[in-house]
């Protein structure tokens, strides 16, 4: 099986970012990278704030937030009236969980591909309410049809009160058939919360097309927004039940305003987010998506070859356009959270390369991403040096 060819670089794209050129940044999926033009737009908003704080916070800020909300919701194919700006997807999940009204004996159903902080949030809410949580095991090689069947078999009508599922999983970079999962859950009367942290900017399709009761997504990863920019989208029947984590002066306005308004928080990231979308569109949305997915696939293959992983054993993300890929590490390497963090830090310090490392299903996995500022030789250099570093253990 031939090695896939890396895509041609997008001219000038690397110059849009202020990333340290001495480091290979192959982990865009964790914290993103903010283009210089977006940084400057946010700084202008900060300057405006500091020039007259009272005017900034009291004259028209809620209207500016509403305008931003409409802009971002339109890009995502979501209803602006059902979309709230939040700092990140994890915050959106917490808002839903604490508004949902879980009771003793209720069950929150998840999969074993969930994001760690979301799992912790679910566990805390279950402890607080007396509910329980259960994770479905989904094999990494499961087809979309098998995923849907696993969910169908795992639902417990009358007990399962909420299903939480990732659109694109963080530890395993797997695209799940969320629209089909939502349809199955709806047949059984179970509401669904979709954690789409990586979807905005990377994946095609719309929020409306997923059809979930709740959908959360970050724009500070693949949509070039400043960090701290995400949305919570709530279906109309649930909006009256949503409560903010902190009550402030927009409480009486209801959703989405009372979730967004958090007094003296820094709103400049949200207000600058449309500039990130402008940057993405200027580069060409489809062009960026195709480039990033092809580059991630190339990086996975060269790293797999370096570690002796046959191409047939490299996990397929399950759909086109996915700009994150994982590679299995040797047995016994980075199989738990502490060891994974330690290895990530060693790779950063010794190889000047930022990656993600996670332990999942008793195996360590290295995750790399593709982004317009990356080049093929960055993955090749990591592949050339990583085996020796792993052999040192």
pTM reported for the whole predicted model: 0.96
Domain spanning 38-278, CATH architecture: 3-Layer(aba) Sandwich (3.40)
Please check whether the two domains, 14-33+284-391 and 38-278, share a CATH topology. Answer: no
> In CATH, what class is 14-33+284-391?
alpha beta
How many Å apart are CA 141 and CA 368, to the nearest integer? 19
Residues of the chain with pLDDT under 50: none
Per-residue model confidence (pLDDT) at position 173: 97
* Sheet bearing 356-360, strands edge to edge: 324-328, 363-369, 356-360
Sequence-separated (6 or more) residues with CB below 8 Å from residue 328 = 307, 309, 313, 314, 315, 363, 364, 365
Per-residue model confidence (pLDDT) at position 30: 96
Q: Supply angle C-alpha 385, 387, 390, rounded to 5.
A: 110
Per-residue model confidence (pLDDT) at position 203: 97
Domain locations along the chain: 14-33+284-391, 38-278
Is there a contact between 324 and 358 (Cβ–Cβ < 8 Å)? no
Exposure pattern of 163-199 as b/e (b: 16+ CB <10 Å)? bbbbbbbbbbbbbbbbebbbebbeeeebbbbbbbbbb
Q: 173-198 pLDDT, tens per residue?
A: 999 999 999 999 999 999 999 999 99
Per-residue model confidence (pLDDT) at position 2: 64
């Amino acid at each position: 099986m031939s090695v896939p060819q890396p895509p041609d670089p997008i001219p000038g794209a690397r110059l849009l970012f202020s990333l340290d050129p001495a480091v290979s940044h192959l982990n865009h999926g964790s914290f993103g990278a903010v283009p210089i033009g977006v940084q400057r737009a946010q700084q202008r908003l900060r300057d405006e704030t500091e020039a007259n704080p009272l005017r900034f916070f009291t004259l028209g800020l809620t209207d500016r937030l509403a305008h931003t909300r409409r802009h971002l919701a339109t890009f995502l194919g979501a209803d602006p009236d059902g979309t709230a700006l939040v700092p990140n997807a994890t915050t959106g999940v917490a808002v839903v969980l604490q508004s949902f009204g879980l009771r003793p004996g209720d069950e929150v159903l998840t999969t074993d591909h969930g994001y760690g902080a979301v799992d912790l949030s679910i566990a805390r809410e279950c402890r607080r309410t007396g509910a329980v949580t259960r994770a479905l095991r989904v094999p990494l090689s499961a087809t979309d049809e098998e995923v849907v069947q696993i969910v169908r078999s795992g639902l417990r009508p009358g007990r399962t009160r909420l299903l939480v599922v990732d659109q694109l999983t963080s530890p395993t970079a797997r695209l799940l058939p969320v629209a089909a999962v939502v349809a199955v859950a709806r047949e059984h009367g179970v509401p669904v919360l979709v954690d789409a942290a990586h979807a905005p900017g990377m994946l095609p399709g719309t929020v409306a097309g997923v059809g979930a009761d709740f959908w959360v997504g970050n724009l500070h990863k693949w949509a070039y927004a400043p960090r701290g920019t995400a949305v919570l989208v709530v279906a109309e029947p649930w909006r009256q039940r949503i409560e903010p984590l902190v009550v402030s002066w927009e409480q009486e306005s209801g959703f989405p305003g009372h979730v967004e308004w958090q007094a003296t928080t820094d709103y400049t990231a949200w207000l600058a987010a449309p500039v990130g979308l402008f940057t993405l569109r200027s580069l060409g949305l489809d062009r960026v998506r195709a480039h990033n997915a092809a580059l991630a696939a190339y990086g996975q293959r060269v790293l797999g070859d370096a570690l002796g992983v046959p191409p047939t054993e490299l996990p397929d993300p399950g759909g086109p356009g996915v700009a994150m890929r994982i590679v299995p590490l040797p047995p016994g390497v980075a199989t738990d959270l502490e060891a994974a963090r330690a290895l990530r830090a060693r790779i950063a310090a010794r190889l000047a390369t930022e990656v993600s490392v996670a332990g999942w299903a008793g195996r360590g996995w290295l995750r790399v991403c593709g982004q317009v500022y990356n080049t093929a030789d960055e993955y090749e250099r990591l592949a050339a040096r990583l085996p020796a570093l792993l052999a040192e253990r």
